[in-house]
Amino acid sequence: MVLVVEIAVQGALDELGTPLSQVTFVVFDLETTGGSAAEHTITEIGAVKVRGGEPLGEFATLVDPGGPIPPFISVLTGITDAMVTTAPRIDSVLPSFLEFIRGATLVAHNSPFDMGFIKAACAALGYPPPANPVVDTADLARRMLTRDEVPNCKLGTLARFFRSSTEPCHRALADAKATSDVLHALLERAGSLGVATLEELKSFVRTPTPEQQRKRHLADAVPGTPGVYVFEDQRGEALYVGKSGNLRVRVRSYFTASETRSRIREMIGVAERVRTIVCATGLEAEVRELRLIAGTKPRYNRRSRFPEKAVWLKLTDEPFPRLSIVREVRPDQASYLGPFSSSRTAEDAKAALHEAIPLRQCTERLTPRHTRRACALAEIGRCGAPCEGRESPADYTLHVASARRAMEHDASVVFSAMEARMERLSVEQRYEEAAADRDRLAAYVRTAARMQRLQALTGIPQLVAASPAFDGGWDIHVIRYGRLAAAGVMPRGAHPTPYVEALVATAETVVPGPGPTPAASAEETECILRWLESPGVRLVQVEGGWSLPAHGAGRLKARIDRAYQAIEARSPREGRPLS
């Protein structure tokens, strides 16, 4: 059933633009079966029409997507197959919605997502795409708010910050009303910055600060080559580290109006010099940037500053091994899964493994001679109670082997167990518990897939690869145990053998340590992997084999990612930290 309420109000135009008080806004939100407009469909449309802060009408309807709604989406939105059974199809809803938005300026939070689905529906049904102006509240928030005010630009965060009368809940009309409240709060702030018309709002950008203009000379001596740049204060302390394929162009951009990040503008006010490190290749610049950030921990860099704080899930090395969350990989016989970005994510992965494999969860050290009374987990069949002698060391070893295999080679046993549990919880309409299990499974699968991918490279003593350079030559890199050991450029037309041999001979000696990332941070190895997988890269030498486990977590990660598309399509923009 489509609910449409209209209140007629006559608008007006100003000769110098459209005053914001006279703009008719239609703030809308969609719920869908997934994150890709090419593969998924709309399940709900909600919209509110406002002008001058006054409501003019609402549009709200569920939409029959023509197929089943994925369980993950039902958990997120609360919209089930039963709810849309009697709902109209999109071919009945779209004409009414297009009429509702006629002549209005459209507003959405992360508008490319919602507009992508509307345009796809129009294309499928033979309607021209809407030509309405579009305002994105997520983009406006990033321009007008600082990280000191809000940590990110998610709709829920902004609604709480501006004390919206409606709480976002992944239902279309409620989210549209919350977005409307956020819009009006942002318009008030824009007014204080001198923005009075729709045209000014859409072109809003901050001007360079006096400090930015005064310190433009810091970029004068920067070379136009690939490399790393370091902004330093008067004591030589690193403030900010970055990389670029053209150092001069990138550093100059910090002193122009295009640099709108408040913290970077603040950094420019403190900076007294820019130190540059010229690199042979773009990959070398990217790796050096990561190492410098980790080594100097510049206070204006937000990422990669503390790789040593990574968290690992350890299958301990003792008579009756258990899962333990640790911050250090030791040279022992234990198995490790990670690295995780936080203890909470590691706890989620740990819970997923425990759901599938009955490892003991007590923390004291056990031996065949050391027995004690079993806990409640044994009574409900979640542990074989080796502590009480009910399970022999040989039988318990089978669980340990299953856990090690799930961590390093085959994720299917954990995936199947968690999937069955989520389906059972969904049938019982225990959606919050199912959502928690979804996140636990995602934490396990994504981390296992990442670690297995890293280990495929970190187990290779030496790999030499080359990629085409812009001038017709070749960028050559020596990688040892997942660490960049050397980088160089071979000129066009030169014979490769002398260059490769010289680069290998002068490359850094790498002595691997313990664990899945024995010689470099996980971020560095991932950076190298991205380069190796880029178009045109050629393998020159490989010591040993390079392969992924046939039944590894990588094949299941794609299923997890598809299930999360509706969330992921919004989160990277809505939730991107403010600069």
Looking up residue 241, the CATH number of its domain turns out to be 3.40.1440.10
430 and 332 inside one domain: yes
Confidence of residue 307 (pLDDT cuts 50, 70, 90): confident
Report if residue 500 sits inside a domain.
Answer: yes
Report if residue 551 sits inside a domain.
Answer: no
72 and 160 inside one domain: yes
Helix (H) or strand (E) holding 574: helix 565-574
78 and 162 inside one domain: yes
51 and 194 inside one domain: yes
**How far is 526 from 339, CA to CA, in rounded Å?**
12
pLDDT in tens, 147-206: 778 889 999 999 999 999 999 999 999 999 999 999 999 999 888 767 888 887 877 655
User: What residues are labeled active site?
Assistant: 170
Q: What is the CATH number of the domain that holds 158?
A: 3.30.420.10
Strand order in the sheet with 323-326: 323-326, 311-315, 335-340
340 and 487 inside one domain: no
Of 419, 437, 456, the residue that ends a domain is 456
The contacts of residue 519 (CB under 8 Å, 6+ apart) are 458, 480, 481, 482, 483, 510, 511, 512, 513
Tokens (6 digits) for 212: 């930015």
Helix axes 431-458, 412-427, angle to 10 degrees: 170
168 and 44 inside one domain: yes
Please give the single-letter amino acid code of residue 182. V
Report if residue 554 sits inside a domain.
Answer: no
Confidence of residue 372 (pLDDT cuts 50, 70, 90): low
The alpha carbon of 524 is separated from its chain's Cα centroid by a whole number of angstroms, namely 17
Confidence of residue 576 (pLDDT cuts 50, 70, 90): very low
**pTM for this prediction:** 0.64
**How far is 538 from 179, CA to CA, in rounded Å?**
49
pLDDT of residue 384: 67
**How far is 386 from 272, CA to CA, in rounded Å?**
64
Beta strands in 118-191 (DSSP E): 134-136
Report if residue 558 sits inside a domain.
Answer: no
Total domain count, the chain = 4
pLDDT of residue 1: 46
128 and 18 inside one domain: yes
195 and 235 inside one domain: no
Report if residue 101 sits inside a domain.
Answer: yes
Report if residue 447 sits inside a domain.
Answer: yes
**How far is 515 from 523, CA to CA, in rounded Å?**
15
Structural domain range at position 84 = 3-204+567-574
483 and 369 inside one domain: no
Helix axes 343-356, 393-408, angle to 10 degrees: 130
CA distances from 282 to 40, 241, 265, 531 (A): 37, 15, 26, 10
Average pLDDT estimate for 23-47: 94
Q: Are strands 311-315 and 323-326 parallel, antiparallel or unpaired?
A: antiparallel
444 and 526 inside one domain: no
pLDDT of residue 573: 45
- pLDDT above 90: percentage of residues in the chain: 63
57 and 198 inside one domain: yes
